[in-house]
A and B are shown apart, each in its own frame.
Chain A
Amino acid sequence: MSEKLYGIIAKVMDIPINEINDNSSPETIPSWDSFNSYILLDELETEFKTEFTIDEVTETKNVSDIKKHLKNHGIILYD
């Protein structure tokens, strides 16, 4: 299921899926700017049919944080 998440990130950031891991962040992915992070949020909300709080959005530092927030919304990604 992580694959679905990685697929969305790869699409939004326009990079190959195999370059993404739990530690991927704006520091490691140059195209991950503030605007793209919003697009990513919007895509995730649509794809996983959920809505993040503004705190979750601002606290997200890397892919691992995204997984944590998804889990809090009851979305479990099996590896």
Chain B
Amino acid sequence: MENNFEKSTRIAILSSFTLNGIEEIFKVKCAEKKINCVTYLGGYNQYNQEILNSESKLYQFNPDIAFLILDTRSLLGDLWYSPYSLDAKQRKEFIEKKFEEIKNLIQTFMSISKSKLIISNFPIPTKSNYGIFETKSKFGFQKMIATLNEYLQDFISNLDPVYLFDMNGFVTRHGENNVFDPKQFLFGDIKISLDFIPHLTNDLIGYVIATLGLAKRCIVLDLDNTLWGGIVGEDGFDEIKLGSGPPGNAFVEFQKYLLGLYDRGILLAINSKNNPDDALEVIEKHPDMILRKKYFACMKINWNDKVSNMKEISEELNFGLENFVFIDDDPINREFMKSSLPQVLTVDLTPDPSKHVKILEEMNDFNVLKITYEDSKRGLMYSQQKERKDFEKLSSNLQDFLKNMELKVTIKKADNFTIPRISQLILKTNQFNLTTKRYSLEDIQKFSQDDNMLIGCAQVEDKFGDNGIAGAFIVQKNGTKEWILDTFLLSCRVMGREIEKSILGYIVKTAKDSGVEKIKANFIPTQKNKPIENFLPDCGFKKQDNSWIILLNETFQIPDFITVEEK
């Protein structure tokens, strides 16, 4: 097989019951996403020993991501069968004790390993030996487990390397009677029946995709029979299926679901073969259309082939093809896309529109570990971007354009509000990135406590709106003589407006104020960071050995059309 892995990761799986087979499924499913995964499956019910012993095989394996999958029976022991042998107060104490044990496991793991930890919550059984009286019992059997789940969720909500996997939700979704097979349980302590391990793995891979930053960023949609039923060019505006009754309601439902994804930062675009006028009339004027023009970051409605359109969308939005999902009802278009642009994730829609939402729901390709303010506003920012482009076309030259943009840069120090976004930029930015060094959220948090480091970011606003935090930097203060520019980057969204010079200007000024004589920077070229190639010499840095140096006794010119503020 051709080795075309794009990413590599080490995955450890610890469990309180038999989970054989999960490693193999992980490998296959990761390979499908071009992730090379090395796995480690802990010994049967050995998770306590493995986590508490810093010399264990788990820590020797040195995972990037560790899954800790526990189940309610193992948790409760004999209490599973007779929870009411304890009174309500004792039951509460029991749960508190169990929570302390799990908390201790999590804290120990965090103190020894840098890995992410994904811990499952506990499925709440639907049966109780109190029968219908269960719901009348104070702190009853089901409440015990629900309470533990709440404790867990509250505890990990502020621990950045730790995430909760909703196993209770998993069992609910697939059904307790399906997921748990008594014979498999009695025969091999298999608590998730073999048929459901692939489903479980699929859900867990959502965390791998998020950790590796492989989440898809834009859904590119066909129109006829995808966003509405029928073909507008043939059936006409009044005859397409879109509305409150079936089958038109299936398309409304699908559009509403897509709007929900848009609201959390997934961009939408159109790639469709239609007369633009016919299609735009539906998009703007059809009473039941949910996704109006303003929700699309890019629209290619023409008679060109869909592969060329897709390439243009990728260029216009400045994202690599691997960031796109393509949705089209026509199998021929899908095959053409799959064979021409395999980097694009082409989704197989069924001809039945009532299944469309479920197909998207089951995809784990949109998962991110944090949803930032910038994410939730991304769609809006892109429509403002379109306005900026139109304005740029109107302006006679670049200088005029920039002067009239009313650019404002606000420099902010790394704090609880800005660190998630700084980390996101550091993990994702490829083009205008001097060193492409990647640091995790936890790294940035640690650096921000260090007096020897200066970490900040830049929020960029203009007359069309707020671009959010779009630049970040890390400076190592190497004493007072020489500071080192460890990381310097700018989101492609605001490239080409000399924002970078005003950010560097801030760093230069801060260094001067501290009595520093020079700043040293490195440029580490990659396949993607050509746009930043000339940044250092353009700003007056001089090559010295393998680095670039700027002496601070000379004046540093910052662009006069940008207002800079510090916060």
Contact A35 B20 (CB under 8 A): yes
Contact B183 A35 (CB under 8 A): no
Contact A39 B194 (CB under 8 A): yes
Which of the segments B64-72, B184-192, B536-544 contacts the partner chain? B184-192
CA distance A54 to B183 in the complex (A): 7
Q: Is A59 an interface residue (CB 8 A)?
A: no
Contact B190 A38 (CB under 8 A): yes
Interface 1/0s, chain A 33-50, versus B by CB < 8 A?
011001101100000000
Residues of A near B20 (CB, < 8 A) are 35
CA distance A35 to B187 in the complex (A): 9
> Closest approach, in angstroms, between the C-beta of B539 and any C-beta of chain A?
62
CA distance A34 to B184 in the complex (A): 11
Interface 1/0s, chain A 47-68, versus B by CB < 8 A?
0000000100100000000000
CA distance A57 to B182 in the complex (A): 13
Contact A35 B186 (CB under 8 A): no
> Closest approach, in angstroms, between the C-beta of A55 and any C-beta of chain B?
11
Residues of B near A41 (CB, < 8 A) are 187
CA distance A49 to B105 in the complex (A): 44
Give residues 313-367 of B contacting A (CB, 8 Å): none
Residues of B near A35 (CB, < 8 A) are 18, 20-21, 188
Minimum CB distance partner of A51 in chain B: B183
Give residues 164-191 of B contacting A (CB, 8 Å): 183-184, 186-188, 190
> Closest approach, in angstroms, between the C-beta of A48 and any C-beta of chain B?
16
Contact A57 B187 (CB under 8 A): yes
Contact A54 B194 (CB under 8 A): no
Contact B188 A42 (CB under 8 A): no
Residues of B near A38 (CB, < 8 A) are 184, 187-188, 190, 194
CA distance A57 to B188 in the complex (A): 11
> Closest approach, in angstroms, between the C-beta of B43 and any C-beta of chain A?
13
CA distance A39 to B184 in the complex (A): 10
CA distance A77 to B18 in the complex (A): 33
Minimum CB distance partner of B184 in chain A: A38
Residues of B near A42 (CB, < 8 A) are 184, 194
Residues of B near A57 (CB, < 8 A) are 183, 187
Query: Which of B18, B187, B190, B194 has the largest number of chain A CB atoms within 10 A?
Result: B187
Minimum CB distance partner of A43 in chain B: B194
CA distance A23 to B188 in the complex (A): 24
Q: How many residues of B contact A (CB 8 A)?
A: 10
Q: Which of B21, B186, B188, B194 is A34 in contact with, Cβ under 8 Å?
A: B188
Residues of A near B183 (CB, < 8 A) are 54, 57
Minimum CB distance partner of A41 in chain B: B187
CA distance A57 to B183 in the complex (A): 10
> Closest approach, in angstroms, between the C-beta of B19 and any C-beta of chain A?
10
Residues of A near B188 (CB, < 8 A) are 34-35, 38
Residues of B near A34 (CB, < 8 A) are 188
CA distance A39 to B183 in the complex (A): 12
Minimum CB distance partner of A57 in chain B: B187
CA distance A38 to B181 in the complex (A): 12
CA distance A4 to B18 in the complex (A): 29
Query: Which of B186, B188, B190 has the largest number of chain A CB atoms within 10 A?
Result: B188
Residues of A near B21 (CB, < 8 A) are 35, 39
CA distance A40 to B186 in the complex (A): 16
Minimum CB distance partner of B186 in chain A: A54
CA distance A38 to B195 in the complex (A): 12
Residues of A near B184 (CB, < 8 A) are 38, 42
Residues of B near A54 (CB, < 8 A) are 183, 186-187
CA distance A42 to B184 in the complex (A): 9
CA distance A35 to B21 in the complex (A): 9
CA distance A41 to B186 in the complex (A): 14
Query: Which of B18, B183, B186 has the largest number of chain A CB atoms within 10 A?
Result: B183
CA distance A24 to B21 in the complex (A): 24
Minimum CB distance partner of A45 in chain B: B183
Minimum CB distance partner of A58 in chain B: B187
CA distance A39 to B190 in the complex (A): 11
Minimum CB distance partner of A33 in chain B: B20
CA distance A38 to B186 in the complex (A): 11
CA distance A58 to B20 in the complex (A): 20
Residues of B near A39 (CB, < 8 A) are 21, 194
CA distance A42 to B186 in the complex (A): 14
CA distance A57 to B184 in the complex (A): 11
Give residues 183-237 of B contacting A (CB, 8 Å): 183-184, 186-188, 190, 194
CA distance A74 to B194 in the complex (A): 26
CA distance A34 to B187 in the complex (A): 9
CA distance A41 to B190 in the complex (A): 14
CA distance A35 to B194 in the complex (A): 11
CA distance A47 to B552 in the complex (A): 78
Minimum CB distance partner of A34 in chain B: B188
> Closest approach, in angstroms, between the C-beta of A59 and any C-beta of chain B?
13
> Closest approach, in angstroms, between the C-beta of B73 and any C-beta of chain A?
18
CA distance A49 to B188 in the complex (A): 21
Minimum CB distance partner of B183 in chain A: A54
Contacts A41-B187, A54-B183, A54-B187 known; list 4 others, CB within 8 Å.
A42-B184, A42-B194, A54-B186, A57-B183
Which 7 residue pairs of A and B lie closest in terms of their CB atoms, listed nearest first? A35-B20, A38-B188, A38-B187, A42-B194, A57-B187, A54-B183, A34-B188
13 A-B interface contacts by CB (under 8 A): A35-B21, A35-B188, A38-B184, A38-B187, A38-B188, A38-B190, A38-B194, A39-B21, A39-B194, A41-B187, A42-B184, A42-B194, A54-B186
